[in-house]
Chains A and B, each alone.
Chain A
Amino acid sequence: MLIPQRLQQRSQLLQAVRLFFHSRAYLEVDTPVRLPLLLPEAHIRPLRADGGFLQTSPELCMKRLLARGCSRLFQVCHCFRKDECGRLHQEEFTMLEWYRAGWSYTQLMAECEDLVRFLAAWLPELAGVIGTDALAREGKTVSLASPWERLTVDEAFRSFGDISAREALEQNMFDEVLVTRVEPRLGWERPVFLYDYPVELGSLARSRADNDTVAERFELYIAGIELANGFSELTDPEEQRRRFVLEIEKAREYGNSDGQMPEKFLADLVRLGETAGIALGLDRLFMLLMGCDTVSEAMTMSPEDL
């Protein structure tokens, strides 16, 4: 449970996040947390809630709002993912998610960079911040100065994992190579955006126009820690339906889906223009800024407190 001083820091950070988005003309929304069905996800286990599910992300609802003509939306909300518990995981956590119409993933990477730099400069007194433009982590200094590094997934796998991303995926080794060999090397000098994931790993992301084997998806890493996942949204309902069929199949294999197709979502997708969206684990970012060791140290209360 946070002591009053830490609670105040968290409150100031939340306020700064809102300030950042309001100053850029984003609309804050608060969509339902309990939903009758979720978007299919192979490796995310939902918590059941009296006939429905607790959201694992606000993506479904926010994209439906975007399809109705909203152009800049952000949300700070609690999400729930069953059986995720560790140094960097809690079943209930705070997500920051935002969407911008007319943008692609490269522009969103730049905005994500702006947000983190803004927070560090706004609250330089936080224990994890050095000066106004660097972070301290495990005795090392991570410079936040622009531009941040951008590395394709395949480049990262080849340099740190001695295997191509495609081969790793085909050998069902992708996550293991990522977690054990690639992630620990990322973002120690400055933050890094890993981008262009194998298309099979971006069920909601648009594939690249010049290479349909990769999806326009990216992840932000700072000091070896995954912070955010974004993409150029897939807006073709037929392609999205095909991807969902594959994702539901995978999710069933892992016992994470009851196999429902989100029809209302697909119906709305017809009206969604080019959009980019990103989900950022806010507790993890606060953990880095506040200089905490574990994600639960940056949360208002953790399950152990209850």
Chain B
Amino acid sequence: MYSASDLRKGLKIQVDGEPYIVTEFEFSKPGKGQALYRTKMRNMITGTQFTNTYRSNDKFEKPDLEERTMQFLYSQDDEYHFMDTSSYEQIFLTREQLGDNLNFLIDNMEVNVLFFGDKPIDVSLPTFVNLVVTKADPWVKGDTSGTDTKPVTVETGHVLQVPPFIEEGEKIQIDTRTGEYMTRVKD
């Protein structure tokens, strides 16, 4: 159990049976009065924001959260299937749960899947991923248009801006936190 005095930014607590992460937190207390813990949090399953003021007597369950390394196997309709590489257990997450992660997810990629109890609720990708450029306009040497980037499409279908010298078939490294191009990768 956590008590209100344990609350801080980043703490994960259980409220009404669901896991929340504290995103903003402020401690207030009139000198002679009750401590108030003004807390903004995000539901880790639905993503909904929620604000509440707690008092020192309030207690919270620790949510049963566990992170497991899993490999992405395949997708079928809106279901994305992953396998635990040590137990061979398979689970799936929906397109909606994966959100922007889909821009960088390729077959066989190892990711961390977050479980709430036995329910997978989120995925965190490696910080850097290498993806193949599948569509790019050719680089015209001596181009004087003044632009220093151009859009390319990578194997996941994601479109991003890269330097003009990147060509179709090349591999590039992308920062999954920002979705930005980092460097060209030579195999």
Contacts and interface: CB of A to CB of B under 8 A. Distances in A.
Nearest to B25: A86
Contacts of A86: 26-29
B31 A175 contact: no
B114 interface: no
9 residue pairs, one from A and one from B, having the closest CB atoms: A86-B27, A175-B33, A83-B5, A175-B34, A179-B28, A43-B34, A229-B31, A179-B36, A43-B33
A180 B37 CA distance: 11
Categorize the interface residue count of chain A: 20 to 34
B186 interface: no
* A interface SS class: mixed
B35 interface: yes
B30 interface: yes
A41 B56 CA distance: 15
Interface in B10-40: 26-36, 38
A219 B29 CA distance: 13
Given A84-B27, A86-B27, A87-B26, 7 more contacts: A41-B32, A83-B56, A179-B29, A179-B30, A179-B36, A219-B30, A219-B31
B56 A226 contact: no
* B interface SS class: loop
B36 A176 contact: yes
Contact of A178 (B5, B30, B35, B57): B30
A44 interface: yes
A176 B56 contact: no
Most chain A CB neighbours (cut-off 10 Å) among B27, B30, B36, B38: B30
Interface in A209-228: 219, 226
B149 interface: no
Given A86-B26, A87-B26, A176 B53 contact: yes
Contacts of A226: 30-31
Contacts, number: 56
Interface residues of B, number: 16
20 contacts: A41-B32, A43-B33, A43-B34, A83-B35, A84-B35, A86-B27, A86-B28, A89-B27, A89-B29, A174-B33, A175-B34, A176-B53, A178-B30, A179-B36, A183-B30, A219-B30, A254-B56, A254-B57, A279-B31, A281-B31
A44 B30 CA distance: 10
A179 B27 CA distance: 10
Given A83-B56, A84-B35, A175 B30 contact: yes
Most chain B CB neighbours (cut-off 10 Å) among A41, A83, A88, A180: A83
Interface in B89-109: none
Most chain B CB neighbours (cut-off 10 Å) among A43, A44, A89, A219: A43
A44 B34 CA distance: 8
Interface in B41-95: 53, 56-57
Interface in A227-242: 229
A37 interface: no
A88 B30 CA distance: 10
B26 to A, nearest CB: 7
A179 B34 CA distance: 10
A245 interface: no
